[in-house]
Amino acid sequence: MYKKIDMSEQELYRIGTVSKLTGISPECLRAWERRYDLQPAQKTGKTRFYSHEQLQNLSKIKRLIEQGHPISSLAQLDGRQLSARLTPVSLSGQTYSADTAYRPQLPTIGLIGTNVIMLEQDEGASDRVEVTQRWNNVADFLNSRPSELRHLNAVALSSPTLNLEEIRDIRARVSDLRIVAVYQYAADTRIESLKKQGIPLLAWPVTWEKLVSACAQPMELDIGKSTPRRYEDSQLLSIASAARQRGDSAPRHLVSLITSLNAYEQYTTEHILEAPDDADLHCRIRADVSCARGLLEHSLGDLLETKAIHAPEKASGARPLKA
């Protein structure tokens, strides 16, 4: 029987007990504490104690990770939000799970920046959107795995001076994503430029209700669908280098074509953002280029598989792709 520690009339569990009950190693729990602020209820010296509620939440997190959810999307959720994600069943556009009441499927949004994350913490959950991801800054967002971005409908970005380069980078990373920018000080030229691109702008301070409302609206400018990238630039370089060492030109030629299409896709994205009047045409071109790049990536994968070559691990730390 596992021992419970009673402190201040609260049932607390040592980290070793939590590990045995949840299947999460002590090392992993400590790493989550450092990276995602999953703090234990109490610390006595180097000994960590977790509450019964935390034990339940960690058990849910373990199950959700086994279902494919990344820890970064779960760390700041409360017990009710974690329960809502467990084994949902879709019925005619609705979502239902055993732990929650029947409710409509909500748009999923991510938060980038301290101001918007703190705003959510102050106001709590919304019945109009579901916040599934949080990033401290744009760099963290850009380094996310594709699986963390795939199901997002919108992001709320805290951009104090409306950094155009950051917004362009976000659009290039996930093109069909609605961006709502919250700013404090910005030049009129930047404001007008982003308005022409169809990006909703909100002046700080802003209410959580107003931010949620802006995120829940459909995109005003469709920048075109993009086929998710199978290989990062670092992987393509490694594949080409390995092929050269083997004296095999076919993978290198495919890598060259894929790299060229990646560059042209980026070019069309920038053209859409800088010249909204021609956006419809370049959206279609971008979608075609993206599709062509996806087909070539598939061909490259087939070629590497035939030659028993494995694609190197992604620089972001994701599992290596078997080509």
Residue 246 in this model has a pLDDT that exceeds 80: yes
Domain boundary among 216, 251, 272: 216
Question: CA-CA distance, 190 to 187, in Å (whole number)?
Answer: 5
Asked if residue 84 and residue 46 are part of one domain, the reply reads: yes
The residues pairing with 90 across neighbouring beta strands, listed in sequence order, are 95
pLDDT of residue 94: 42
Contact 293, 262 (CB under 8 A): yes
Q: What is the pTM of this model?
A: 0.42
Domain of 189, CATH number, reads: 3.40.50.2300
Among 51-55, 195-199, 275-279, 315-319, which stretch is predicted with the lowest mean pLDDT?
A: 315-319
Per residue in 90-141, pLDDT (tens digit) is 333 444 443 433 334 577 899 999 999 999 888 766 777 888 899 999 999 9
Asked if residue 205 and residue 147 are part of one domain, the reply reads: yes
Asked if residue 124 and residue 210 are part of one domain, the reply reads: yes
The residues pairing with 202 across neighbouring beta strands, listed in sequence order, are 182
Asked if residue 293 and residue 193 are part of one domain, the reply reads: no
Q: Would 15 be classed as within a structural domain?
A: yes
Q: Would 317 be classed as within a structural domain?
A: no
Structural domain total, the chain: 3
Residue 300 in this model has a pLDDT that exceeds 80: yes
Domain boundary among 69, 92, 115: 92
Question: CA-CA distance, 113 to 228, in Å (whole number)?
Answer: 25
Per residue in 41-89, pLDDT (tens digit) is 888 888 888 998 899 899 888 888 877 677 877 888 888 888 877 754 4
What range defines the domain where residue 207 resides? 106-216
Residues in contact with 196: Cβ distance below 8 Å, sequence separation at least 6, in sequence order:
276
